[in-house]
């Protein structure tokens, strides 16, 4: 089943050239058999961009690229190594690298793939996650202003993860990154849907979505817009403020401070900052 979610997007410049929504097909972890049926794809309606959050076979990504003639950005998960990828990596488009920010369809998309090595025993690497977070902050600053969509394989700690299972516990580095970047949308996989109810949640200005399977996310203009969108998914979220204006110290609990960074951009500031509960 392809789940659906509406998110109000704070950057009005995204909605140009008579485009009143931006429709993202988010996928991760498991194939959604509904997408194999042409009739289902037609009923899904327009898709503007596909975003993958990892643990998908290259053949499935190649299929999606053929079935939907739109850009596809994805990060690799902890299972995206080995024979299937060695044999089929040329069929899938190139993955978004660790901490990279790409511009596509008017969005800035930051990628956080599985931060471990390629060995068969790929344990959680919290230090590598902190490095990724620092790299995203720098890349986001260089790529200009405007809100980000973050695609990660592993969720932030305490949001969309399963803390009862060490291997499915999120990263503290990602949690700190979310607090700093304040992205309107964070898509992730890795957590089995059965372990997380509900599959999407709002923390501060950010809507976090456990994509596992397939989700159609429809970005709509801010809800205070005078424009009326018709035929769209009802947004469940509200507009957000810009990034924090506090300097950010990304601190690794294991190796001490990695770096201190100034705030990103100069977006509008919220008087009442959303609180992120401690992980
Ligand atoms: Fe995973």
- Measured in Å, residue 93 CA sits from the centre of ligand 1 at 20
Does residue 80 or residue 245 have the better pLDDT?
Answer: 80
Query: What is the spatial distance between Cα 83 and Cα 171, in angstroms, rounded to a whole number?
Result: 27
- Measured in Å, residue 226 CA sits from the centre of ligand 1 at 41
Q: Stretch 218-223: mean pLDDT, rounded? A: 91
**What is residue 39's DSSP assignment?**
H
Token code pair at residue 173: 């580095």
Confidence of residue 142 (pLDDT cuts 50, 70, 90): very high
Which residue in 100, 99, 102, 97 sits closest to 76, CA to CA?
97
- Measured in Å, residue 121 CA sits from the centre of ligand 1 at 13
- Measured in Å, residue 210 CA sits from the centre of ligand 1 at 12
Q: Stretch 192-203: mean pLDDT, rounded? A: 88
- Measured in Å, residue 222 CA sits from the centre of ligand 1 at 33
- Measured in Å, residue 237 CA sits from the centre of ligand 1 at 27
- Measured in Å, residue 87 CA sits from the centre of ligand 1 at 20
Q: What digits encode the pLDDT tens for the residues 19-73?
A: 899 999 999 999 999 999 999 999 999 999 999 999 999 999 999 999 999 999 9
- Please report, for the chain, the start and end positions of each structural domain, with discontinuous segments joined by +: 3-261
pLDDT score, position 145 = 85
pLDDT score, position 88 = 65
Q: 7 near 200, Cβ under 8 Å? A: no
pLDDT score, position 255 = 39
Q: Stretch 220-238: mean pLDDT, rounded? A: 56
Does residue 14 or residue 225 have the better pLDDT?
Answer: 14
Confidence of residue 11 (pLDDT cuts 50, 70, 90): very high
- Measured in Å, residue 262 CA sits from the centre of ligand 1 at 32
pLDDT at residue 136 above 70? yes
Query: What is the spatial distance between Cα 124 and Cα 173, in angstroms, rounded to a whole number?
Result: 12
- Measured in Å, residue 171 CA sits from the centre of ligand 1 at 13
Domain 3-261 carries which CATH code? 3.60.21
- Measured in Å, residue 120 CA sits from the centre of ligand 1 at 13
pLDDT at residue 203 above 90? yes
Is residue 256 within a helix (H) or strand (E), and if so which, with residue range?
strand 256-261
- Measured in Å, residue 192 CA sits from the centre of ligand 1 at 9
Q: 126 near 172, Cβ under 8 Å? A: yes
- Measured in Å, residue 103 CA sits from the centre of ligand 1 at 25
Confidence of residue 205 (pLDDT cuts 50, 70, 90): very high
- Measured in Å, residue 26 CA sits from the centre of ligand 1 at 15
- Measured in Å, residue 190 CA sits from the centre of ligand 1 at 4
Kindly report which listed range (51-55, 138-142, 260-264) carries the lowest average pLDDT score. Answer: 260-264
Does residue 95 or residue 266 have the better pLDDT?
Answer: 95
Rounded to 10 degrees, the C-alpha dihedral 58/61/65/68 comes to 160
pLDDT score, position 15 = 92
Query: What is the spatial distance between Cα 207 and Cα 189, in angstroms, rounded to a whole number?
Result: 14
């Amino acid at each position: 089943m392809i789940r659906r979610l509406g998110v109000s997007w704070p950057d009005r410049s995204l909605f140009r050239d008579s485009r009143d929504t931006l429709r993202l097909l988010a996928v991760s972890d498991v194939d959604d058999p509904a997408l194999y049926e042409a009739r289902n794809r037609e009923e899904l309606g327009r898709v503007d961009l596909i975003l993958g959050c990892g643990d998908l076979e290259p053949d499935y990504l190649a299929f999606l690229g053929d079935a939907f003639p739109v850009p596809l950005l994805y990060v690799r998960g902890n299972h995206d190594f080995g024979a299937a990828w060695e044999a089929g990596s040329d069929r899938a488009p190139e993955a978004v690298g660790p901490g990279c920010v790409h511009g596509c369809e008017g969005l800035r998309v930051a990628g956080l793939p599985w931060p471990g090595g390629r060995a068969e025993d790929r344990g959680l690497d919290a230090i590598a996650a902190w490095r990724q977070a620092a790299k995203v902050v720098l890349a986001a600053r260089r790529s200009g202003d405007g809100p980000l969509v973050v695609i990660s394989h592993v969720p932030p700690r305490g949001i969309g993860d399963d803390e009862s299972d060490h291997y499915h516990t999120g990263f503290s580095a990602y949690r700190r990154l979310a607090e700093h970047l304040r992205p309107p949308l964070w898509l992730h996989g890795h957590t089995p849907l059965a372990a997380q109810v509900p599959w999407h949640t709002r923390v501060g200005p950010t809507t976090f979505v456990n994509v596992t399977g397939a989700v159609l996310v429809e970005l709509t203009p801010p809800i205070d817009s005078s424009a009326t969108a018709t035929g769209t998914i009802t947004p469940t979220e509200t507009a957000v403020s810009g990034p924090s204006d506090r300097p950010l110290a990304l601190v690794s609990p294991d190796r001490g401070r990695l770096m201190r960074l100034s705030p990103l951009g100069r977006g509008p500031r919220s008087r009442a900052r959303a609180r992120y509960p401690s992980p």
